[in-house]
Structures are given as C-alpha cells and as structure tokens.
C-alpha cells in the first residue's frame, strides 16, 4: 500500500481551522493562534461552525461534517489544523466522503480525539496526516513551546526527525509506517476495518488512565490478529497522571517480551506542552533508542 504525502507547508499558504470534536470555550486562545500564524506569514480562515456548540460537541454532526468536507474541498486551503480534541470524531467516520479527501490531499493536523480521523484517513483515503499540536492548547497558548513549534514546522516541511527515547524497554531495529496515536481513541475503532495493511511502528500516548485500563486497551488490540501480525515496534510516548508508573513500565516490558519487538518509552509524544509532531503513516525506523522519521 502506498500513501499520499501532501505538499510541504510554506509561507503564504492558507490554514483552515475546523473543530470536529469538542466545543471552543476559550475563543481568545484560537484568536491568539490565528495571530501566531499570521505573524509568520500564513493566512488563517475558520470554518463556518468553528465557534458553535452543541452540548459537549463543537456543533451538530451534520455541521461538523460540513466543515470537514469544506476544508478539504476548498481550493484555497493548503493545511487543516484542528482547534482541539475532546470527543466527537467517532460520530463522523461512517459519514465522511473519503474519496473527496483522497482527491484533495492536504496536511491535516491534530491529536487526542483527532487520532480517530487520522487513522481513518490513512485507511480509507491513503492520506498521511500529522499527530501534531492544535490551535487552542498549543499554538494559542499564552506562551508557545519552542520545541513543539520547531518540531511542527520541521515535520510539515518534510525534514527528517530523530527522536531519542529516555527509556529502552527492549533493544532492536524495526521498520514500518508510523501508526497509532491516542490509545483510547485508537481502541474506540475496534470492530471496524482500521488497522493498516503495512508493517507499522505503533506509537501511543494517553492521560488520566490507570495502569489496568492501559493494560486492558493494549490487550484489546493484541487480541486482533492483524494488529499482532503487522506491529514491528513500539514507540511509546507519555501516559500522564499515572498513579503507579513502575507498573506501567512493567506492562510495557511484558508486551515487548511477548511480541519480541523493539520497544521504547517516554518519548515527547503526549498531551503535555512539549510534544513532537509525528507524520501519521510515513515510513520510519526504530533503532534501539532512536526513532527516525
């Protein structure tokens, strides 16, 4: 399977902002993000329903779907950055026009709940996307994180990134596409045809999940034959607010041993302010403590 890598982000491009998940309760943060990009020489436009709200969602399913299709079909938009995560992407995946996305490949950026869209765009539209900072919590922060910003622009300009993991759970070398993202979001796709046909390095992160639930989610994935067949390495980010971190590392060591694959953890892939941008679906190499993308 070959995948589509959209053209690099360059100054003068137009960035489209959509909110396919939770509502924007802090409009000032989004406007700060707009100013941030405009100050660097980009144009920023908002979808029709970016600042709407429907209960715990940014808008109704129909409105969020309309905004998503608008962003991909609008010829003036070069890159799409999601406003925030939360919940809502799962409600859209069976209504999305994946052929429209395939015929209009663009940089698509976000993480957390947005993982669901990245996974399905890769599977059904062959589109490489980006697990990346978002408008509200990252680009719209009162003080942006330089490491995070640099990684974002490096990734979207197609520069090679070398991430060094603080923890090596099992040594070795593996190759495959980068696939995974927010663990709870990936697991929510179980029951659908969502796992890549290619060999992959599984990257994952989460927050506010106890170790036994992380164990449960990994076990659910490992019970899927195709997952076990295609996974060639584990590149684990940070699982925030875990009460017993030593139990978590024990779990990762167990999984690495069971699968006999190279495994690293504590990468800067997380919900923290400091994070790497990961090309979702791009070929990579995991070599001992180095992840080369």
Encode the chain (293 residues) as per-residue pLDDT tens digits.
789 999 999 999 999 999 999 999 999 999 999 999 999 999 999 999 999 999 999 999 999 999 999 999 999 999 999 999 999 999 999 999 999 999 999 999 999 999 999 999 999 999 999 999 999 999 999 999 999 999 999 999 999 999 999 999 999 999 999 999 999 999 999 999 999 999 999 999 999 999 999 999 999 999 999 999 999 999 999 999 999 999 999 999 999 999 999 999 999 999 999 999 999 999 999 999 999 99
pLDDT at 80: 98
Q: Partners of 110 in the beta sheet? A: 131
Distance CA(160)–CA(175), nearest Å, equals 15
- Looking only at the bridges linking them, the beta strands covering 278-280 and 107-110 are unpaired
Structure tokens at 144: 């942006």
Taking phi first (over 0 means left), then psi (-120 to 50 degrees means alpha), and beta for anything else, what does residue 288 get?
A: left
Asked if CATH classification 3.50.30.60 holds for the domain at 162-292, the reply, yes or no, is yes
Distance CA(20)–CA(30), nearest Å, equals 14
Distance CA(149)–CA(162), nearest Å, equals 16
pLDDT at 264: 98
pLDDT at 230: 98
CATH 3.50.30.60 residue ranges of the chain are 162-292
CATH 3.40.50.10740 residue ranges of the chain are 14-156
User: Which residues have C-beta within 8 Å of that of residue 52, sequence separation ≥ 6?
Assistant: 19, 23, 58, 59, 63
Structure tokens at 253: 């060591």
pLDDT at 1: 72
Domain 14-156: give its CATH architecture: 3-Layer(aba) Sandwich (3.40)
* 175 burial via Cβ count (<10 Å: 0-12, 13-18, 19+): middle
- What pTM was estimated for this model as a whole? 0.96
Q: Which of 101-139 are b and which e, b meaning 16 or more Cβ less than 10 Å from the residue's Cβ?
A: beebbbbbbbbbbbbbbbbbbbbbbbbbbbbbbbbbbbb
pLDDT at 115: 98
Q: What is the DSSP letter of 154?
A: H
């Amino acid at each position: 399977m070959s995948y589509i890598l959209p053209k690099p982000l360059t100054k003068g491009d137009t960035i489209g902002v959509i909110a396919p998940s939770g509502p924007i309760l802090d409009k000032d943060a989004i406007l700060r993000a707009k100013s941030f990009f405009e100050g660097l020489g980009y144009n920023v436009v908002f979808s029709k329903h970016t600042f709407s709200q429907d209960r715990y969602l940014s808008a109704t399913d129909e409105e969020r779907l309309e905004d998503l299709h608008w962003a991909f079909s609008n010829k003036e938009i070069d890159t799409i950055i999601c406003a925030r995560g939360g919940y809502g992407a799962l409600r859209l995946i069976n209504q999305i026009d994946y052929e429209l996305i395939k015929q209009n490949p663009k940089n698509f950026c976000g993480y957390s709940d947005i993982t669901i869209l990245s996974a399905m765009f890769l599977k059904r539209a062959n589109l490489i996307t980006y697990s990346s900072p978002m408008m509200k919590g990252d680009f719209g922060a009162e003080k942006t994180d330089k490491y995070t910003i640099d990684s974002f622009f490096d990734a979207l300009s197609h520069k090679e990134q070398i991430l060094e993991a603080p923890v090596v759970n099992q040594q070795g070398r593996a190759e495959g596409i980068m696939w995974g993202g927010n663990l709870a979001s990936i697991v929510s796709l179980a029951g659908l045809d969502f796992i890549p046909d290619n060999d992959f390095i599984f990257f994952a992160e989460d927050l506010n999940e106890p170790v036994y639930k992380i164990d449960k989610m990994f076990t659910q994935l490992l019970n899927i034959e195709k997952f076990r067949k295609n996974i060639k390495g584990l590149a684990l980010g940070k699982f925030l607010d875990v009460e017993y971190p030593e139990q978590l590392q024990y779990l990762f060591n167990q999984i690495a041993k069971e699968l006999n694959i190279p495994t690293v953890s504590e990468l800067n892939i997380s919900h923290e302010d400091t994070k790497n941008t990961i090309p979702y679906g791009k070929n990579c190499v995991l070599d001992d403590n180095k992840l080369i993308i």
